[in-house]
């Protein structure tokens, strides 16, 4: 079956540091890939997506590139802010229905 494995947390960084959260997947076919973010006390929000190999999703300074050869979709940001503190979920959708999520990575950014 489909699965998503993401970097275990928690991750603690200083403001303006570089962020990488690793995500790898196993899926049949050609899935779409997503990063969702959950800020404290709020629901899941779509952060970015990529629907085919070599696509780069980007939003709010975050980027992730769909790498079919390594089955990866790592999340990066060049300079994190305190307001980026949240839980980040990697997910895939391989058909018209359900999404499969990783277990989430908690990011804390300290001033």
**Which residues of this protein are in contact with another protein, per CB under 8 A?**
4, 32, 34, 36, 42-46, 49, 51, 89, 91, 93, 96-104
Instruction: Give the shortest CB-82-to-another protein separation in angstroms.
Output: 23
Beta-sheet pairing, 19-21 with 75-77: antiparallel
Q: What are the tokens at 61? A: 């300074």
Q: Which is nearer to another protein, 84 or 88 (CB)?
A: 88
Complex with another protein: residue 97 or 111, whichever CB lies closer: 97
What's the closest the beta carbon of residue 109 comes to another protein, in angstroms? 20
Left if phi > 0, otherwise alpha if psi is -120 to 50, otherwise beta: which for 94? alpha
**Beta carbons of 74 and 60 less than 8 angstroms apart:** no
**Of 43 and 111, CB closest to another protein:** 43
Task: Judge whether 5 and 102 are in contact, CB under 8 Å.
Answer: yes
- In the complex, the smallest distance separating the C-beta of residue 56 from another protein, rounded to whole angstroms, is 16
CB nearer to another protein: give 16 or 54.
54
Ramachandran category for residue 103: left, alpha or beta (phi over 0 → left; psi -120 to 50 → alpha): alpha
CB of 16 to another protein, least distance (A): 29
């Amino acid at each position: 079956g489909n699965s998503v494995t993401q970097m275990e947390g928690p991750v603690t960084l200083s403001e303006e540091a570089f962020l990488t959260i690793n995500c790898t997947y196993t899926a049949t076919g050609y899935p779409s890939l997503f990063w969702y973010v959950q800020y404290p006390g709020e629901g899941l929000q779509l952060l970015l997506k990529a629907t085919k190999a070599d696509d780069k999703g980007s939003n709010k300074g975050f980027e992730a590139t769909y790498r079919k050869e390594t089955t990866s979709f790592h999340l990066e940001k060049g300079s994190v802010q305190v307001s980026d503190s949240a839980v980040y979920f990697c997910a895939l959708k391989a058909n018209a229905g359900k999404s499969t999520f990783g277990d989430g990575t908690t990011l804390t950014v300290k001033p």
